[in-house]
Amino acid sequence: MEFDVAHAGDHGAVLTPRGRLTMASAGELKALVERTVAGGRTLVVVDLDQTEFMDSSGLGALVGGLRSARTAGGDLRIARAGDQVLTVLELTTMDRVLRPHATVEEALDAAG
User: What is the Cα–Cα distance from 59 to 39, expressed in whole angstroms?
Assistant: 23
Q: What is the pLDDT of residue 111?
A: 66
pLDDT tens sequence across 3-41: 999 999 999 999 999 999 999 999 999 999 999 999 999
For residue range 48-73, list pLDDT tens digits in order: 999 999 999 999 999 999 999 999 99
pLDDT confidence of 110, banded at 50, 70, 90? confident
In angstroms, the CA 38 to CA 23 distance is 23
pLDDT of residue 72: 97
Read off the DSSP letter of residue 80. Answer: S
The pTM of the full predicted model, rounded to 2 decimals, is 0.95
